[in-house]
């Protein structure tokens, strides 16, 4: 069902954890399955210096969280905000159709954590 890249990120997920006193934070859920995730951002000089997450979801959600946080790290806020579920799925080399909503949860978490950062820092 899953390709090798997805399974590799699922077995060895990158950037798992939390950030104390994050610059941006969000907790989101998937309306489709009820799974949830939390995302924490550390922003320095307009760039995402660090990003961590806790995902309570399926293999596709964990793999999407892992690769998306790799993609976000080092990007400007605007660049990170432009990442979509299609970018995440492409980076993973594809997901089964019925698992696309899992990558949407990760896209939602990125956007919501950035929105939290912007609202707290007047950006």
Contacting residues toward ligand FES, per CB under 6 A? 30, 33, 35, 57-58, 60-61, 99, 102, 105
Nearer to ligand FES, 19 or 100 (CB): 100
Start-to-end Cα distance in the chain: 41
Q: Which two tokens stand for residue 105?
A: 């949860």
To the nearest whole angstrom, how small is the minimum distance from the Cβ of residue 33 to ligand FES? 3
To the nearest whole angstrom, how small is the minimum distance from the Cβ of residue 34 to ligand FES? 7
Packing angle between helix 59-72 and helix 100-121, nearest 10 degrees?
40
To the nearest whole angstrom, how small is the minimum distance from the Cβ of residue 62 to ligand FES? 9
The secondary structure of 22-83 as a DSSP string is -SEEEEEE-TTT--EEEEEEEEETTEEEEEEEEEES-HHHHHHHHHHHHHHTT-BHHHHHT-
Nearer to ligand FES, 71 or 100 (CB): 100
- What amino acid positions are annotated as catalytic residues? 33, 102
Contact 41, 25 (CB under 8 A): yes
Nearer to ligand FES, 61 or 77 (CB): 61
């Amino acid at each position: 069902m899953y390709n090798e890249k997805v399974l590799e990120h699922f077995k060895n997920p990158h950037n798992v954890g939390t950030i104390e006193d994050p610059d941006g934070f969000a907790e989101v859920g998937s309306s489709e399955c009820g799974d949830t995730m939390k995302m924490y951002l550390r922003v320095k000089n307009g760039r995402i210096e660090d990003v961590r997450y806790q995902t309570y979801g399926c293999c596709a959600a964990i793999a999407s969280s892992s690769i998306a946080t790799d993609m976000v790290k080092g990007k400007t806020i605007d660049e990170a905000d432009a990442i979509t579920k299609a970018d995440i799925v492409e980076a993973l080399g594809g997901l089964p159709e019925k698992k696309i909503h899992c990558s949407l949860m990760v896209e939602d978490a990125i956007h919501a954590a950035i929105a939290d950062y912007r609202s707290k820092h007047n950006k």
